[in-house]
Amino acid sequence: MTELLWMTGCEFDFIPAFGGHVPLHDENMETSKEGIYVAGDVTGVEEASSAMEEGNLAGVCAAHSLGYLTDDEKAK
């Protein structure tokens, strides 16, 4: 699952507890490459409900960065 992220040049860290190499990301799930967001298994989170929350957060943050959501809409 990480191959595309490696190809884009995202930075990774080796975290054995998360299953190996995981892409570095901030609190908004954005990687070291601006505009690329991650969630779920690729971040080392394999539990479904947590992965869904990460996906929601990543989607909202990506939509905000593209101008589809205002600051107020993002905060909701």
Low-confidence ranges of the chain (pLDDT < 70): none
> Whole-prediction pTM value?
0.90
CA atoms of 36 and 32, how far apart (whole Å): 8
pLDDT tens-digit series, residues 13-31: 999 998 899 999 999 999 9
Q: What pLDDT, on a 0 to 100 scale, did the predictor assign at position 15?
A: 93
Q: What pLDDT, on a 0 to 100 scale, did the predictor assign at position 5?
A: 97
Q: What pLDDT, on a 0 to 100 scale, did the predictor assign at position 21?
A: 94
